A and B are shown apart, each in its own frame.
Chain A
């Protein structure tokens, strides 16, 4: 009989605690709580309507190792200059020398020397030739190879080709290669940057 009274009292106490307590008391679980973050609100397709935005145009440029003195080859400016010169079919080949690294020296980067336009200068005009030479002179590279580099800038075909066929690795050093791939720089129009093992002279 006392056991039954105890049970009744416990039940009544529990009932009163449920009714009267203004807030819940929760005994923390022994397991670690897992925090589930809300999915981020990213733009997505919809069932009702979609919008296609025109991207904010940025001038397409080609960058090598960016430094304080590095200039970018601004394609839009080339197009403007060629339009002013009345020749939209600019096709330049630039030759540049990457000097050999002396043994025992490992500079972080080497810049191009003896930069000159070797083809197309007569048709492109002096202004474009000077502009391209001045820009290319400021490009620097990590010194894995040395030798002669060729750049071909074809405005009509919207193509920028880098030929590294004549670059050689220093003797005794590990040659990591320079890859062989092509990609497009997309900016409303498409400009193809092609890295070529073959010569473009």
Chain B
């Protein structure tokens, strides 16, 4: 059985290893000079006060490597590429080539066959995702200084979530293959559902995993300019605005008008705001919750994957393909 798995899937496994390998090498080559900007390690420049070396390194980082944060967003497709590529043909290829009739009449019960396939290929895809996640985590460590802790440029690419996404994509591929019975439509169907679930969770559900923190801060007159967000650039800001002396929140257009008034005359806006008793408020998820969020997100996606694979097991027990 194990030999059979290897013989049947070695092409995909090797192709994916090369895919992950190429990305890893590219990140390593690009990342070396970026890491070299911070001889003392980038964490050294994370907490103020920043020394001169840090400040100039930060400027260089922003200028030379700021764009890569955006490019990294593309790697959100990697879990799908890995999991879908191995998962979609798992059943679909047997069904479209008719070989299901060959393999399911050998002396290996169907469910054992499916279990071995899922365990072996699922493990391969999760391992590849783990490797990729580790490389990305190393690469983007200096980029943490530019922010983006809990969003798709960092949270979704590092830690344990990429593995959960990959397993989910794999399960989606297997299910789509069982339903659509052809590899390419199965891969396409899996992509659409993968993106839909990922966007929904990342965009609407993740910000509410845990009750967000609300902070209200008075403006320090003469501090120069209105400070946005929180002191940590990696916190996930959900909403922010002003609160007036009576405790009423001013958001949206009201906040824009308020800011315009404060800037009238070209002086320091914090003096105006302070004099009118206006404070800054922000609702956010602090970066310290990174691992809590990673755990919650992993549980969600692994749970969905298990559910989907359980459906396939139920389906394959009833021999009606």
A and B interact:
no
